[in-house]
Chains A and B, each alone.
Chain A
């Protein structure tokens, strides 16, 4: 039985063995390394050779002012991003859904998706061209209109606006895909019936279109809330700079700075572990809430 089973399936095991080895080395390997959060890590003694120090490093991290600043910034940037960037694709998707010229819809969708495929390095480059103090186009236009230039990149609040703006720019178009997908399932007869009843287009949007994507909206909102502590590295690192560090330093850039720039591996691992654990709790929690309320989740 076992030999015939193996004879039949050995190829599949051979196929999957390589990816599994990959996962064990490159995904679980670092999980093994997490123990240095509890060790006085020394590069020369390595992970297993370093001495255990219990929660000392945690105490040190929780006593750092910078840690709380970055934690606050992570929440703040994610929250503001949610407020500003979340509604944009919904509005855009509803408007695209209302377009009756197929070619127009297609062309605009093609263009709207593009920013999603642009790297943050390139977006950073473009942002400096647009918002730089010296030669930025926006300030050039402001000055030519006799207005004062705005330090978009070097002062906290204007920087925040720039940061949020880049988020909308990058993700609004791509975000419409999900809502448009949800809308393809809407029964067209509903619209026809509403039309016969004399409902205006706005009323139809309000009473048919919007309710039919409501489950998608709620699910995405809850799942987004689950990512409150996880924040990508590229965007805050590239758009941010030392002048606005008080706002732009987030958990991921903090880990990079403390760990790889100043070589405090233990402290940086503690922050990383804190982020991973709190992130996990958030994600599982939001997933649970999502399943309870909408019946949809990621697990």
Chain B
């Protein structure tokens, strides 16, 4: 076998393998999309795989005519944007001073932050704190506890360190204040890393589930994930009770559940490809550092 043919065989095998893995990643989504567009009859008889059977929009019409679902989507979107903006402001406010070697107390601040990466009070003391601050059943319970991720902060500090100091020094000689320098010189140079961190914060909030489960009882303040979880949980309970022969839970139709899953996934799929080229380097930096 000549080298060229063996090379070609290798390429074919390699690319087929990767394609298989890509399909493995995509198939669950495709199946869920197919379910969401299929009739209930086709779903319950198990005919739906990757393509919709007996195509219809009913599930989506139902999702979009459900007031509480639209409300939850709007509420979660606003919550995500607000959280992301606040997190970015706090992370920036911490990162910039920590890059200044001449700042007294910098090491102390650094320790205060790093320690929290390795030790935490645990969820019960966290819950009691939120309770004592009267934040139970308030959106602030979903925003305040996560304002700065030390992990993201370190990514930002490392990035800032890569910016030549001479830039800032010359600005200072020209009489620029620190805040002015931060906004006029540092931020414009940092757009890629800022986009990455904003994506991490936004995805974290959009996907966040445990905190809403713990802190929120008022259905009006349920983020989308918690609402979705209850639908899925419904399914789980029925799955179990049917085994025991006593099915009393009202079933959400499969197609409706699938449509809701897709509905909650689409926003991430929309923003993510635009930010991909940035976050790859952000993820690398973060993983090496912590």
Interface hits, B125-171 → A, CB 8 Å: 125-129, 132, 144-145, 147-148
Selected from B90, B104, B231, B288, the residue in CB contact (under 8 A) with A19 is B90
Establish whether residues B290 and A119, one from each chain, have CB atoms under 8 Å apart when the complex forms: no
Establish whether residues B209 and A120, one from each chain, have CB atoms under 8 Å apart when the complex forms: yes
Known: A13-B97, A272-B125. 16 other contacts (CB 8 A): A23-B148, A30-B125, A36-B125, A98-B11, A108-B18, A113-B276, A125-B32, A135-B43, A137-B49, A140-B46, A173-B21, A201-B10, A255-B123, A268-B123, A268-B124, A272-B121
Which 4 pairs from chain A and chain B are nearest by CB? Answer: A30-B121, A272-B122, A33-B125, A140-B46
> A31 vs B264: C-alpha distance in the bound complex, in angstroms?
35
**Contact A15 B179, CB 8 Å, known A9-B103, A99-B14:** yes
B59 close to A (CB within 8 Å): no
> A27 vs B120: C-alpha distance in the bound complex, in angstroms?
7
Task: Scan A93-134; emit 1 where CB is below 8 A from any B CB, else 0.
Answer: 001101111001000101111110111111011111110111
Q: How many residues in B have their beta carbons less than 8 Å from beta carbons of A?
A: 99
Interface hits, B201-253 → A, CB 8 Å: 203, 206-210, 214, 225-226, 228-229, 231-232, 235-236, 239-240, 242-243
**Contact A26 B129, CB 8 Å, known A100-B11, A243-B240, A280-B118:** yes
> A119 vs B225: C-alpha distance in the bound complex, in angstroms?
8
Q: Name the residue on B nearest A198 (C-beta).
A: B3
Establish whether residues A233 and B116, one from each chain, have CB atoms under 8 Å apart when the complex forms: no
Size band of the interface chain A makes with B: 35 or more
**Contact A125 B257, CB 8 Å, known A112-B25, A177-B287:** yes
> A30 vs B119: C-alpha distance in the bound complex, in angstroms?
11
Selected from B46, B123, B288, the residue in CB contact (under 8 A) with A256 is B123
B residues bordering A, Cβ < 8 Å?
6-7, 10-11, 14-15, 17-19, 21-22, 24-26, 28-29, 31-32, 35, 43-44, 46-49, 90-91, 93-94, 96-98, 100, 102-104, 109, 112-113, 116, 118-129, 132, 144-145, 147-148, 177-179, 182, 203, 206-210, 214, 225-226, 228-229, 231-232, 235-236, 239-240, 242-243, 254, 257-258, 260-261, 264-265, 268-269, 272-273, 276, 280, 283-284, 287-290
